[in-house]
Structure 1
Amino acid sequence: MQTPDGVFHNYTIDHRNPRSQGGFVYALAEDRFGYIWIGTFGGGLQRINPSTGDFLYVPHGEKNGHVYPDSRIADLMFDSRKNLWIASPLGLYLLNNQQLADVKLNPESLEFVRFTTDSSEGGMSDNRISTIYEDRNGRIWIGTANGLNRMNSGNTSVDLHIDYVPKNPEKGLSHPGVTSILRDPNDDQVFWLGSENGLNRLRFSGDRVSGVQHYFDREGLPNSFICDILDDTSGNLWITTNKGMLRLNPSDTLMQNIRTYDTGDGLQSGEFTIRSGFRNAAGELFFGGINGFNRFFPDRVQENVHIPSVALTEYKQLGVTVYDALELSRISHIDIPYDARYFEFTFAALDFTYPNGNRFAYFLDGFDKNWSESGTRRFASYTNIGPGKYVFRLKAANSDGVWNEAGLAIPIVIRPPFWQTWWFRLIAVLAILGVLALIYQYRVEKLLELERMRVRIASDLHDDVGSSLTKISLYSDLLREEVDAENRQTLLSRINNLSRELVLTMSDIVWSIDSRNDTIGDLLDRMHDFAMSALSPRQIAVSFDVESLDDAKKLPVDIRQNLYLVFKEAINNVARHSGATEVRVALHNRQGRFTMQVHDNGQGIELAKKSSGHGLRNMQMRANRIGGELTIANSDGTTIQLNTTML
């Protein structure tokens, strides 16, 4: 304590004096007679006469039927009725003013009223009392380790509990441990509560809480552990925490204009102690901390009104520096490749009054919905931002919260991958349309091919089968009218031959359209089988010379059919009209040109052309269908050759 002559008086425990007990001093309070009451943690309740230095020790526990406060005192308070309230881990104690009027009181005769959770009516929410507060209406509020309590008007019981509700936090406190209580200096219906995790603003409607707001470090508090709350003569709140102090206008419920202070502003430490605040009659505020205490007149705290300029100092992509401060000052925008999934800006405010207290806010226009306040953190990072055009905006405030609202802005272009560009999408659309067109064209070609096949089959049926059936019908009519046995036998033989030819023709048509016979190997087997069946009965030798043909290669139906029918007609001519004894069949594929040659050693085509003219015309027609060239030559017999490039 400081005396008028500037000398500090130090009061210590005298172990030789039984009236002086030890323990850490946790609370001090002055009664109306000038005595100082001392609450210690371990040494109980004591009273000292500042003039004489005499101690009076109040016993603790129970003695001679009386209840005394616990030896661990957390808080002391004299209310407006001069009663002494005592907070301890074992409950709340009250000593009325009538007993305190006896200057020469006998401590063992004091009668304390104790309030606990076990009280018969209106008990406390928890015995661990942390703080005591009297509002302007004389109502006593009790902060405990498990919520807030209010005494009734007669101070006989608790008539209101406000608890921490974990599953519904907007209905109660932010934390059960209450550390400080203050009624709003401008609104009697509002109370401010400090807790071990968060600042609480409670609005009352009568005895009912009608609104609760919680504030944490994410709302701008230096720290969420609140140590004490005081108001100044201007109605501002001064709040100490475990990491600095802040000033708050109670009407600023959105915490938009709070001012924070730390060791750079002259605080003894960033960490304060619980219930260490005090405002004297002159309006000076005192707050105790782990390295001493701070005292100041709030209206004399000067603000820094300088609006700070703001600058970008570094830009990184994937942790690698791309631009330094000088380069950033020269460029008009930033190009970012699509695969730079992480980029970061570092920045600074050009105010050097207290640089560590400068604050920042940033906003990526086109991505963020709201400004992000980074506090004193000097960087902003983004991850996995999609391709597009953006603007990075930055503003800063000095240590007293004066913002440069203009700030700065730099355009950003994140390039899309090539598969997301308009030209790639156009090419892709055109490619898809092209594929669809090809598919459509392919299907049309298949339909046309099927139609052509139907026409060919109909034509073959009409030309070959129809002709044969007509002849059979004619011969049948003649047979019905013929009476001569020899002529009837001749007609029957002709009908029999035509029927056999008709069966073979139908077999050829079915074979040619069967997809199981669509390879060159299948065609060669069919040719060989037919040649052997047609020539062997006539004692005509046949040989095959096959060169550079892929047996597994598939042939279209029309090519396979026409090649086979040209070959078949050539073999039939040899068998019926040539008089040959030997036939050589050559099938070659050289330099993309296919040649089929049937050579016999017979009498030549001239001698037999009358009987085979229709067959030669058929061969020429079928050669034309597959884009081939048919030649017939007489040299040591007859050579029929077909050349085509369509194989």
Structure 2
Amino acid sequence: MRAAGGMLALLVLLLGTVAVAQVNGRERRIGQFYHSRWTVKDGAPGQVSALAQTPDGFLWMASAAALYSFDGVHFRRFEPPDGQPFSSIQTLYVAPDGALWIGFIHGTVARLREGQVTRHGEAQGLPLSQVISFATDAQGALWASTSLRGVYRLNGSQWERIAEPWGLPAAEHLGRAMFVDRDGALWLALADKVYHLEKHGRAFRDTGITVKWVSLMSQAPDGTLWVAEPTGAVRPVGLPGGKPYPGAGRLEVQSAGVLFDREGSLWATSLGDGVRRIAHPEQWGERRITRLDEAGEPFTERDGLSSDYTWPIIEDREGNLWVGTSGGLDRFRHSTLVLAEFPRGSHDFAIAAGNDGALWAGTTNRPLMRLRDRTVDTFDIGAPILATHRDRDGQVWLAAENGLWRIQDDKPLRVADLPAPPPAYIHAMTKDAQGTLWAALVGGGLYQLRDGTWTSLEARTELRARERIMAAATDPQGRVWLGQTQELLRVEGTDVRRFGRADGLELGIVTSLSAGQRLWVGGQFGLAHFDGQRFHTLDVEDEEPLRGVSAIVELPDGGLWVHAIPGILHLRADELARVVAEPGRAARCERFDFLDGLPARPTLLRPLPTAVRGTDGRLWFATSNGVVWIDPTRIFRNPLPPPVAIHAVRVDGQWLTPGPGALSLHEQATNIEIDYTALSLSIPERVRFRYRLEGVDTAWQDVGGRREAYYSHLPPGRYRFQVLATNNDGVWNETGATLEFVLPPAFFQTWWFRAVCGAAVAVGLWLLYLLRLRQVRARLRRLLEERHLERERIARELHDTLLQGIHGLVLRFQAAAEMVPMGHPARVAMEKSLERADQVLVEGRDRVMDLRATTVDAGELSTAFTQLGEEWGHERRSALHVVVEGTPVALDPVVRDEVFRIGREALANAFQHAGARRIEVVLTYDFAQLRLRVRDDGRGVEEAFLQAGGKPGHWGLSGMRERAVKLGARLDIRGRENAGTEVELRVPAATAYQDFPKGTWQRLRRLVGGLR
């Protein structure tokens, strides 16, 4: 076999785009991968017999006669759209065009692409024989290997059997695995031999390699071809160019699958012994391995595997390893945090960084341990380690129940007894600028060790009784900081200062200190930094608040790593500079938790701190269930944006499958649920989504990890739904997925229905208007009739009482006058009075006649105005012209009388006050109204009088307006000083005309025919 150095060089060349952390991933043990499993109770199918991943990111798996897809969260069974169920599935294969080919145990194959299934059987040239494997050659042609009839090649839409013309035996043979290597050559296991077809070749060549029932082939980074033989072994068999492998190395295990991952490690599945991983298969050389414990690293049910019976294994686009078992599905992926190789069951880790990248760890139930180069050495010092400290000189100090120890020459050396008897023990340590060790004891106070002698510092530091120091640190200026409950002490020589709430320190119990470029303080309620005068609490942009800080590690670049209850938080130096410069702003951070390999939360009781920086740059974090490390310069990142897919829409409880075009929903759809997903299989729990529905959502909706969108009571229309997603490292797929759907309107939501409803409403309003108009007209007519009756009553009363009484008085006055002699002055005066009384009686009788009858006869309104003009114009030399427009019709008597009185008052003003030479009266009879206009060329009316309703003491204008209001008419008086006056009266036709039509149809006929 080729040398290991050449192997690694070739591997680096091939994987030049892979992160550095991945290159070193081979050094991890299989137990240090992040392992997840899904069983039947999690929705996974049992007995997974085949696996494949399509370019859209979906993981497909076969289980008996069913096909399932998996997006990292949900398993979904695929139902063929033609309604014909699949038979038992043998193999799955993804072609370069993205189609998923399915081979069945009982013969035939199917092609699945974009949800559509195309079946191939005898009609297309395939025999009824089990399809074992597929392959695509350099020309893009698809090959299929069958169990009884040999090899077939797809030519257009038909399959042709490949035999003698291609250099294969004419007789039918058992077709097994096929594989296309990185050079484009096709390898074929046929019966017990391996054949080789060069790229662009037209004939297979017998390689001379003998095999036993090959189930799978894989190629190592150095080009070596490996095979898995369920009845034989996992072994290398060939070299590039179709040459036999010269060595005899083999792993004799019943293996169903073999795979080289992108780092060059070999993974092998087995039929009953779980999974095996060989990190450096190139180091096998000529060995023949027969014992399973020598075959690399096992991972079985005891380690958490869903079943020891494993079969298919694949590597997805993100570098995760997937294994199908008889119990479900398993995933192995690189975790950012790597579990240290300390024995399981260790508790209460007190850790300190040693030289050469080593880590010293003490626990309460095991001896002192040193981890170096993946090897753990133990040192029994007779008591548990309760506290550790590495000073600025690189000296490691260990505090145990039996005294203080120091690491010297990679071994623990006892330095001194404890300064106080048990149960007191050292909880925190630091070394000041003078090289003196400070030790804080639980239940024993504060001491200083110098030249092997302990000195109490309680008086010097003004410690109060029963005060407990939880953390200690020395800053670059040599000042010692001591963390207590609610307070922080700073000791600088003989000066001691306390900081508390008044100084901005509101962290509860101080549990951790970091005195580097800045002083950082961690406590129960968060993290704070010191600006030289005050403390400022730092908030972070995270789903969980920063609480329970058990350790703070400041890197040389100024960045922080904080170990707290939510997990391990990384704050970049530039981000810290930003929030320090802008107090009150939350800092962006990167959080690592159980999804990154953190086994448990930190403990805030003891020992503290729970994180240290190793001499090789790695950061170590102690939890209640183990220790993990991370290399901050080599963090595994996921650079691939997740493909986004919309796989189903549920409308009022009915599931619909989106197609290539717009999805048409049913009318009156009320509740719409859109199910979408993102295909990031590394950490799907951290995939985040945002979506919007154009026309409904004004902005993107950030919904976290929710994979459903809900809308209800959408109006009819065409909609476009967009969804975007980000992977676990914040890489967004800005294209996302789009769904267009149409919500058709119901008949009552169409434009024509709305138009009909609008017209109906308009007609209804018009009818209501006519009804109201009729009611007003009837009410007005009743008022006019009542007025007419009242006038007749008043006339009767005047005639029967006032006029008769006055007439009697006149007669008696006449009798008295006749008793006075003729010619007597009194007789003359009395006769003149009687003449005036006769005139009053005549005038009274005329007024009574006016009340009992109309002023003018029917149809002679224009004649009445003409007569007034002749009577008044003769006396005042004014000319009156009366004009009639339209055909005169019979008017309501009361209306005719009121119109005449308004016109007479207007003429009286024109003749008596305007000094006009020309006066015009226009009577207009039309369908809508009766209009009267009186115009003159006189001196006009002042605007102030028009607004005030006339001159003081004169009631002409007021009376005209009152009469118009009673008629329901409109009266307009326009005039300017020295520019004439115009009086216009408009009376609605329904009020003015005596025979005005009552129905709408009659009115239309009247409108068309005109007034007659």
Pick aligned residue for 1:269 from 592, 599, 609: 599
Paired position in structure 1 for 2:523: 195
Paired position in structure 2 for 1:306: 640
Pick aligned residue for 1:82 from 426, 429, 435: 435
In the alignment, does 2:534 pair up with 1:208?
A: yes
Paired position in structure 1 for 2:417: 58
Read off the aligned partner of 1:47 and give its amino acid letter: W
Please state how far the C-alpha of 1:306 moved relative to its aligned partner.
Answer: 0.9
Paired position in structure 1 for 2:490: 151
Distance 1:125 1:381 in 2: 61
Distance 2:508 2:715 in 1: 44
How many residues align structurally? Answer: 433
Please state how far the C-alpha of 1:54 moved relative to its aligned partner.
Answer: 6.2
Read off the aligned partner of 2:387 and give its amino acid letter: A
Please state how far the C-alpha of 1:308 moved relative to its aligned partner.
Answer: 1.7
1:83-139 superposed Cα distances (whole Å, 9 cap, x missing partner): 32334555862414xx2x3xxx4xxx52131379xx64xx68993332223333333
Pick aligned residue for 1:47 from 405, 412, 436: 405
1:155-200 superposed Cα distances (whole Å, 9 cap, x missing partner): x45425143x8xxxxx84564233333357xxx4x554433344x3
Distance 1:445 1:363 in 2: 61
Q: 1:312 to 1:35 in 2, by over 3 A?
A: same
Pick aligned residue for 1:398 from 727, 736, 740: 727
Paired position in structure 2 for 1:285: 619
Identity of aligned residues (%): 22
Paired position in structure 2 for 1:226: 549
Read off the aligned partner of 1:159 and give its amino acid letter: R
Pick aligned residue for 2:689 from 360, 369, 372: 360
Q: 1:432 to 1:224 in 2, by over 3 A?
A: farther
Paired position in structure 1 for 2:499: 161
Paired position in structure 1 for 2:513: 181
Pick aligned residue for 1:112 from 434, 456, 459: 456
Q: 1:46 to 1:346 in 2, by over 3 A?
A: farther
Native 8 Å contact 1:77 1:85 kept in 2 = yes
1:252-307 superposed Cα distances (whole Å, 9 cap, x missing partner): 34778643333443x24142345221112221211112221112322122321112
Read off the aligned partner of 2:485 and give its amino acid letter: A
Distance 2:675 2:468 in 1: 48
Distance 1:302 1:394 in 2: 27
Q: 1:379 to 1:6 in 2, by over 3 A?
A: closer
Distance 1:283 1:292 in 2: 20
In the alignment, does 2:781 pair up with 1:453?
A: no
Distance 1:160 1:363 in 2: 54
Matched residue SS, 1:293: strand
Native 8 Å contact 1:44 1:73 kept in 2 = no
1:454-482 superposed Cα distances (whole Å, 9 cap, x missing partner): 233113433x4455448845984798599
Paired position in structure 1 for 2:72: none
Paired position in structure 1 for 2:680: 351
Native 8 Å contact 1:197 1:225 kept in 2 = yes
Paired position in structure 2 for 1:607: none
Native 8 Å contact 1:145 1:178 kept in 2 = yes
Matched residue SS, 1:207: coil
Q: Which moved more, 1:27-36 or 1:444-453?
A: 27-36
Q: Provide TM-score, normalisation by structure 1.
A: 0.52
Read off the aligned partner of 1:245 and give its amino acid letter: I
Q: 1:230 to 1:217 in 2, by over 3 A?
A: same
Map 1:124-135 → 2, pairs under 5 A = 127-135=467-475
Distance 1:329 1:243 in 2: 44
Of structures 1 and 2, the one scoring higher in RCO (CA 8 A, sep 6+) is: 2
Distance 1:375 1:38 in 2: 46
Read off the aligned partner of 1:146 and give its amino acid letter: Q
Map 1:537-552 → 2, pairs under 5 A = none
Distance 1:264 1:455 in 2: 100
Native 8 Å contact 1:314 1:328 kept in 2 = no
Matched residue SS, 2:633: helix
In the alignment, does 2:399 pair up with 1:28?
A: no
Read off the aligned partner of 2:783 and give its amino acid letter: L
1:355-378 superposed Cα distances (whole Å, 9 cap, x missing partner): 233233456788889866555454
1:33-92 superposed Cα distances (whole Å, 9 cap, x missing partner): 99854346xx4853366677665663465xxxxxx8972543223345433233455586
Map 1:616-627 → 2, pairs under 5 A = none
Distance 1:130 1:33 in 2: 23
Distance 2:480 2:595 in 1: 37
Read off the aligned partner of 2:791 and give its amino acid letter: A
Distance 1:47 1:157 in 2: 30
Q: 1:282 to 1:34 in 2, by over 3 A?
A: closer
Matched residue SS, 2:732: coil
Read off the aligned partner of 1:46 and give its amino acid letter: L
Pick aligned residue for 1:142 from 482, 494, 501: 482
Native 8 Å contact 1:361 1:396 kept in 2 = yes
Q: 1:277 to 1:477 in 2, by over 3 A?
A: closer
Native 8 Å contact 1:246 1:260 kept in 2 = yes
Read off the aligned partner of 2:592 and give its amino acid letter: Y
Native 8 Å contact 1:335 1:412 kept in 2 = no
Native 8 Å contact 1:37 1:45 kept in 2 = no
Native 8 Å contact 1:279 1:286 kept in 2 = yes
Paired position in structure 1 for 2:562: 239
Matched residue SS, 1:226: coil
Q: 1:475 to 1:225 in 2, by over 3 A?
A: same
Read off the aligned partner of 2:727 and give its amino acid letter: N
Distance 1:439 1:26 in 2: 98
Paired position in structure 2 for 1:614: none
Matched residue SS, 1:353: coil
Native 8 Å contact 2:641 2:731 kept in 1 = yes
Read off the aligned partner of 2:370 and give its amino acid letter: Q
Native 8 Å contact 1:334 1:411 kept in 2 = no
Q: 1:115 to 1:443 in 2, by over 3 A?
A: farther
In the alignment, does 2:591 pair up with 1:260?
A: yes
Q: 1:626 to 1:434 in 2, by over 3 A?
A: closer
Q: CA RMSD in A?
A: 5.5
Paired position in structure 2 for 1:488: none
Native 8 Å contact 1:27 1:75 kept in 2 = yes
Name structure 2 gaps, 5 residues minimum: 1-368, 580-584, 816-993, 997-1012
Distance 2:403 2:794 in 1: 127
Read off the aligned partner of 1:180 and give its amino acid letter: S
Read off the aligned partner of 1:456 and give its amino acid letter: L
Distance 1:45 1:333 in 2: 79
1:363-419 superposed Cα distances (whole Å, 9 cap, x missing partner): 678888986655545456689999999986643221222222444566899999999
Map 1:449-528 → 2, pairs under 5 A = 449-462=782-795, 464-469=796-801, 472=804, 476=808
Matched residue SS, 2:792: helix
Matched residue SS, 2:455: coil
Q: 1:128 to 1:152 in 2, by over 3 A?
A: closer
